[in-house]
Structure 1
Amino acid sequence: MPSSVMPMPSNGDGQEPSAAVSAVGLRKSYGDKVVLDGIDLRIPAGTVFALLGPNGAGKTTAVKILSTLISADGGQAQVAGHDLAADPQGVRAAIGVTGQFSAVDGLITGEENMLLMADLHHLTKQEGRRVAAELLERFDLVEAAKKPASTYSGGMKRRLDIAMTLVGKPRIIFLDEPTTGLDPRSRHNMWGIIRELVSDGVTVFLTTQYLDEADELADRIAVLNDGKIAAEGTAEELKRLIPGGHVRLRFSDPATYQAAAVALREVARDDEALALQILCDGSQRELRAILDWLDAAEIEADELTVHTPDLDDVFFALTGGNNVPNQSTPPNPSKETVR
């Protein structure tokens, strides 16, 4: 599939919103292995940006470069208005980073982890205790604050990790696969935390292998494959890149099914399931035309469902289906029974 990048929305006066993160031609190689092959990014302030890609696509490398943990081989980038190469200290002062693996020290308590982070940010003892107490309460960790962090569940450790990140009041937070290994309830709790951060004006750069996570949270999504941005846009814009929307009619009576198959003709048949599939882009106009067509042919299906392409379809089309992302999620919400 050809690369496709959707235009950025304007702020209403014809100008693009200010960028929290921007990069042009970002490159990184390890020996002969090209990890990032000249990627461009522009992330508006106060939004969630999700970077998707197969394992080894370069998502973590992009985060490490933009958070000054490693240097790029080429290209330019600005984070929070600071040039990545010329002012890395300014970048570090404006960002927070939470990786796949918690930075929490399990040998000390949650509160002590928070106070240690406050010391690293040069807060006074009084200010550090105040900030720690506020964040422990915000992330529902007050009861566990005096217990060793090694006793925390995975979700609690991840919440503590983000709370520690917020001690420095970052304007931009990089979350590198923040829900990896969490149970569904903890994942949904983390989603709520991310939404709260954005409502406070924080910009979130999210990498994830959970496609439903990107669909649920991100204002814009980019798909990284073979070191390049294969496509970028809103979830709905990306879904429109992929053909394959259809209406599925299911019948319980074999005779009715056969009559419908003969009457409709241009359909895909599933004789075992007694189901017919009609191409449809999911629009109200096309769906109404199909319903009118069925009424005119006096065909009454027992069940009619509409399927529109989802991020799974986008991911597989853009990456060739290699390195299947984590799919431990509920059934596809884009399949909706309408009749």
Structure 2
Amino acid sequence: MNFTRFPRRKYIQTPTAIEPMPALSQALGGKVNLFVKRDDQLPGAAGGNKTRKLEFCIADAMEKKADTIITCGAVQSNHCRLTLAWAVKEGLDCHLILEERVKGSYKTDASGNNFLFQLLGVKSIEVVPGGSDMMGAMEKKAAGLSEEGKTPYIIPGGASNAIGALGYAACAAETMTQLNDLHLNIDHIVVPSGSAGTHAGMVVGMTAMETGIPVSGMNVSREKMVQEEIVYKLAKETAAKLGVKKEIPRDSVVCFDQYVGPGYSIPTDSMVEAVKLFAQTEAILLDPVYSGKTAAGLVDRVRKGHFAPGTNVLFLHTGGSPALYAYMDSFRK
């Protein structure tokens, strides 16, 4: 895979660590060996996986001479926080369109990422109802800014297009270099599956390198079949952009939707338990929306024997812990 053909800002100077999780493995019966890829420790304001995608997206914006970034997400969006953070570093204006997916969930005085939007100096926030046409809302904002003489650039939610997904194809390559250096054989990788860029990029990278390592996505919002089609479509687009000759098999995209609960960003008992387990065994902080529900899926699948004894499983930690502080009531019950 050749990433030198694409504009890229080098926000990431060193690979994120791959660490064993022996205490968590033991707490879950000791039959499966759990490891974690610490993308929660990526640079940016409070870290998280979107930095990998934004290396490519913001570089593309700057090559197109943009002076303003527009993006969207939920009211506690980690993607919005990191897009805003890197826009600040690059001297670009940043405007956010926030989707209130749970009615009444947006509060101007909220903690978590919502507070950080203000602290980082967001130029504007527009809140729209759940189910809104988010691209349409961003395009409308872009048109208004263009009339004011600005040069806006739209980054889709989660930076999950073929440009952004390049970041996780590159992460797959980084991961394999580390595993080879560590002489660590990983049998399975578990990732969050939301806006699809992380999941799709990892599938493309692992397939292109012919690693034979399956990647499972734990859904945070949609039903299994719907999510798999979204991930598969983006994986094919990303592979085409990279010039990957090897076909992306449909069965390489696997999602599980049992851990979504009542809906996106709505807490579940299994998420709360998983967040506490990671904190109290490995001192690792998860977030309640993505990594927490993904961890709930990982914990459940280990307990139910879905992984054979002795299996080495790598959990991709995508970060997002600032959102914890907006969900404290869920953990204090």
Q: TM-score, normalised by structure 2?
A: 0.27
**Structure with the higher strand share, 1 or 2:** 1
> Computing the radius of gyration over CA atoms, which structure comes out larger, 1 or 2?
1
Q: TM-score, normalised by structure 1?
A: 0.26
